[in-house]
């Protein structure tokens, strides 16, 4: 329970920091998501309240940007790159194999809440294609065989 109260206090601090700043909504949502891992309805209402904007505005902004999530995420986030270079180097297969091994479709989280598998547009490591990022670790020049090895690191 105490972490819950701690988080609420931190959110309160974030909100008061940005209360009178123009353009604060996106940084607040980013920090709130950093705190909770995702944006629940409850959090979005609190943000609206704290910044003095309508909940519909908060929801509208949050749903516009792909960075924001509305359901809990796993312990590790896998970002499978689907940029042009990765696409022509077999990203589709890598993601497929990863999804099969984890037993979840892209965009979803495993039942044990260990991994969330995401497809992303481009990680900008095109010369190492195909690329997968797990949390902040980047794995390049992947082939099917390395998928299992990578998942085993976590």
Partner 1 sequence: MYMMEKVRIIVGLGSCGIAAGGKKVYERFKQEIDSRGLDVILEETGCRGMCYHEVLVDVVSPYGRGPYGHVTPEMVKEIVDTHVLDGYVVPEFLVPLEDRMSLYKQQRIVLRNCGEISPESIDEYISNNGYQALEKALKQMSPEEVIDEITRSGLRGRGGAGFPTGVKWGFASKSLGNEKYFICNADEGDPGAFMDRSILESDPHSVIEGMLIGSYAIGANHGYIYVRAEYPLAIQRLKIAIQQAKDRGFIGEHITGSDFGFELEIKEGAGAFVCGEETALISSIEGNRGMPRLRPPFPAICGLYGKPTNINNVETLANIPWIIMEGAKAYASFGTEKSKGTKVFALAGKIRRGGLVEVAMGMSLRDVIFDVGDGIAGGHEFKAVQLGGPSGGCIPASLLDTPVDYESINQTGAIMGSGGMVVMDETICMVDIARFFLNFTQNESCGKCTFCRIGTRRMLEILERIVAGNGDQNDIELLEELAQSIGKTSLCGLGQTAPNPVLTTLKYFRDEYESHIRDRRCLAKACKELISFAIIDEQCKGCGLCIKVCPAEAVTGEKKKLHVIDADKCVRCGQCVAKCKLGAIARVDRY
Positions that interact with partner 1 (CB under 8 A): 22-27, 29-30, 60-61, 64-68, 82-85, 87-90, 93, 96-97, 100, 120-129, 131, 136, 138-141, 143-144
Q: Environment class of residue 106 by beta-carbon count within 10 Å: exposed (0-12), middle (13-18) or buried (19+)?
A: middle
Residue 61 C-beta: closest distance to partner 1, Å: 6
> Inter-axis angle of helices 41-51 and 2-18, to 10 degrees?
40
Strand order in the sheet with 115-120: 115-120, 76-81, 132-134, 137-139
Q: Which is nearer to partner 1, 6 or 135 (CB)?
A: 135
Residue 7 C-beta: closest distance to partner 1, Å: 21
Contact 95, 80 (CB under 8 A): yes
Q: Which is nearer to partner 1, 5 or 107 (CB)?
A: 107
Q: Which is nearer to partner 1, 85 or 151 (CB)?
A: 85
Q: Which is nearer to partner 1, 41 or 144 (CB)?
A: 144
């Amino acid at each position: 329970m105490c972490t819950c109260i701690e988080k609420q206090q931190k959110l309160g601090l974030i909100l008061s920091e940005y209360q009178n700043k123009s353009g604060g909504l996106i940084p607040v949502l980013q920090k709130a998501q950093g705190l909770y891992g995702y944006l629940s309805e409850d959090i979005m209402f609190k943000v609206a309240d704290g910044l003095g904007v309508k909940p519909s505005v908060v929801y509208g902004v949050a749903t516009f940007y792909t960075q924001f999530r509305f359901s809990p995420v796993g312990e590790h986030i896998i970002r499978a790159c689907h940029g042009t270079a990765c696409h022509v180097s077999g990203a589709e297969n890598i993601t497929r194999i990863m999804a099969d091994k984890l037993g979840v479709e892209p965009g979803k989280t495993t039942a044990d809440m260990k991994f969330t598998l995401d497809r992303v547009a481009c990680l900008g490591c095109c010369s190492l294609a195909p690329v997968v990022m797990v949390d902040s670790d980047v794995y390049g020049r992947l082939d099917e065989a390395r998928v299992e090895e990578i998942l085993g690191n976590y």
